[in-house]
Amino acid sequence: MGLEDMREKLYRYISVFGIADERTIEVSQELDLLIYENVIADK
């Protein structure tokens, strides 16, 4: 799953479950990890 897909998934989860829901937090952390891995890979 690419960054854009994860970002869209996060926005969907926020709109459905709310910002503080466990599922939203998990998706947010997955997106953070994906971004981190991409930044490290670019160096």
Domain boundaries, the chain: 3-42
39 vs 5: CA distance, rounded Å: 17
Q: What is the mean pLDDT of residues 14-38?
A: 95
Residue 24 CB contacts under 8 Å (≥ 6 apart), including other chains: 10, 13, 14, 17, 18
pLDDT over 90 at 13, yes or no: yes
In whole numbers, what is the pLDDT of the chain averaged over residues?
A: 92
pLDDT over 80 at 25, yes or no: yes
Determine how many CB atoms are found less than 10 A away from the CB of residue 13: 18
